Structure 1
Amino acid sequence: MDLQLSVDRGSPVPLYFQLSQQLESAIERGRLAPGSLLGNEIDLAGRLGLSRPTVRQAIQSLVDKGLLVRRRGIGTQVVHSQVKRPMELSSLYDDLEAAGQRPATQVLRQDVEEATAEVAAALAVPEGTEVLLVERLRLAHGEPMAHMRNHLPADLISPKAAELETTGLYRLLRGAGVTLHSARQTVGARVADAAEAQLLAEDEGAPLLTMQRTTYDDTGRAVEYGSHLYRASRYSFDFQLLVRP
């Protein structure tokens, strides 16, 4: 493990937490890829001049988060990183790519169908209007991350499956001349049913994050309605909150 790690003994932040934060950052940025061995606790303690209990506590905090796993006969190994997605009008594909997470996509369905009441209300069209459904499974480092269902006006774009597998939907919209302006989004949570668990490689009843988003262009037209499921064990939303003056 060739990482530049250091601790500030004059800081009020506990030493174990400083170390765990640096290791977590290295995992999130891909400097410690899934499958990497973290190394020996004794060696790590010696390099940083820390006690073994301090190093063990730092590592255990990442084991508890599911980022590391201790394997007998192998050592401490990186499992995966949790994606922390900023609350911006961006596609998951672009966010994963920017974070070095090696995104991939499986197109599960791409078809024109009649808008349900929910979809019609989101896109501001009459119920029964023909809309494009794009259903995908998004992966990072070969692991399922999200099940994504997007409805769009049928006359907006007609992407090929190969395009959906190699880039994000918002990038395709921009390439078609659509200027994305704003969105309304709702985030929630529920447990996975049997089909969702199988698709997302989770146990039935595992926690899932839910997200519904309606995106508008610069004319105010609704151009996309997304209904997505994310693995809570691999994914979180990152908010920045401001105090009102």
Structure 2
Amino acid sequence: MLNDSLLPKHVQLRAALLKTIEDELQPGAMIPSERDLTTRYDVSRATVRAAISSLVNEGRLTTVPGRGTVVTRPRVESNLHLASFTQDMRQRGHRPSTEVLSAAVVEAGEATAKALGISPGDSVWEIERLRLADDEPMAHEVSWYPEAIVPALGDEDLSGSIYAILEATYGVVITDAHQTTWAEQAGHTYAHLLEVGETAPVMVFDRVGSSHEGPVEQTISRYRGDRYQLSMSLQRGPSAR
């Protein structure tokens, strides 16, 4: 039961749920169902939904399609640097894993051809993977590599670091990259793969990685906005006032 108060009931319930989250529940744990909460606190479902919605908007809870509402896990923080997903997650104390969704030789489209410095229609390996941290979907990525540089890439174990494969098998070392970042909604396809709502935010990274000889890789990654954040250091330019 909630105490009689001048505060609206959904505000009181939000405070009660927040205390439960902080004192009793671990990240990833499900909160009680709407029915349980209406009975426990003697409030309407509208009040329960308003309190939960407030905590979702604050980032304390996450709604997982098909499961319910869970306590939000802390975001994985990444400094902007050149590293594979596998390296990045291990450096932050997480256990990376990968589901290879597809690997095939396709014709390069115009955007990919331009990024890789090849001609439209040239053969490229297209690798689609789902990247996980501690068994939870973190990112979806599609990568393209010129077949002329990595002719048998599809025969390799693509569940780990492709950067390691490039170096060990083909002597290709990614030394630098250009990356463009933006945000968008997950949409139906990526919501299903990343286990988020269709309107959930995702961070998109379009990266072109190069060796000393030129472009080798284009990767477009979509990271869950509720599980990933970027950290960067900025310096004031000489012309700044």
TM-score (norm 2): 0.68
Q: Name the residue aligned to 1:144.
A: 137
Task: Find the aligned partners of 2:61 and 2:176 in 1 and give their Cα distance.
Answer: 34
Identity %: 33
Task: Find the aligned partners of 1:238 and 1:96 in 2 and give their Cα distance.
Answer: 15
**Deviation digits for residues 45-86 of structure 1, max 9, x if unmatched?**
xxxxxxxxxxxxxxxx9x944389xxxxxxxx9752311112
Structure 1: tracts of 5 or more residues without a match: 1-32, 37-60, 69-76
**Deviation digits for residues 197-241 of structure 1, max 9, x if unmatched?**
01110001111111101111012x100001111100001122121
2:109–2:121: 8 Å Cα contact kept in structure 1? yes
1:229 maps to 2:222: yes
Report the CA distance shift for 1:190/1:161 in structure 2 as closer, same or farther (over 3 A). Answer: farther
Q: Name the residue aligned to 1:211.
A: 205
2:201–2:224: 8 Å Cα contact kept in structure 1? yes
Q: Name the residue aligned to 2:89.
A: 96
Query: Which of residues 124, 127, 132 in structure 1 aligns to 2:120?
Result: 127
1:82 maps to 2:75: yes
Q: Name the residue aligned to 2:106.
A: 113
**SS of 2:237 mapped into structure 1:** coil
Task: Find the aligned partners of 1:162 and 1:170 in 2 and give their Cα distance.
Answer: 12
Task: Find the aligned partners of 1:130 and 1:196 in 2 and give their Cα distance.
Answer: 26
Q: Name the residue aligned to 2:60.
A: 66
**SS of 1:108 mapped into structure 2:** strand
Query: Which of residues 173, 178, 181 in structure 1 aligns to 2:172?
Result: 178
Task: Find the aligned partners of 2:188 and 2:71 in 1 and give their Cα distance.
Answer: 28
1:107–1:161: 8 Å Cα contact kept in structure 2? no
Query: Which of residues 185, 191, 194 in structure 1 aligns to 2:185?
Result: 191
**SS of 1:164 mapped into structure 2:** coil
Q: Name the residue aligned to 2:232.
A: 239
Task: Find the aligned partners of 1:66 and 1:170 in 2 and give their Cα distance.
Answer: 35
Task: Give the Å deviation of 1:128.
Answer: 0.3
1:184–1:213: 8 Å Cα contact kept in structure 2? yes
Question: Match of 2:60, as an amino acid?
Answer: G
Task: Give the Å deviation of 1:148.
Answer: 0.4
Report the CA distance shift for 1:156/1:145 in structure 2 as closer, same or farther (over 3 A). Answer: same
Structure 2: tracts of 5 or more residues without a match: 1-25, 30-54, 63-69
1:114–1:130: 8 Å Cα contact kept in structure 2? yes
User: What is the RMSD of the two structures over their aligned residues, measured on CA atoms?
Assistant: 2.8
Number of matched residues?
182
Structure 1 stretches of 4+ with a deviation exceeding 2 A read 33-36, 63-68, 77-81, 155-163
TM-score (norm 1): 0.67
Report the CA distance shift for 1:178/1:101 in structure 2 as closer, same or farther (over 3 A). Answer: same
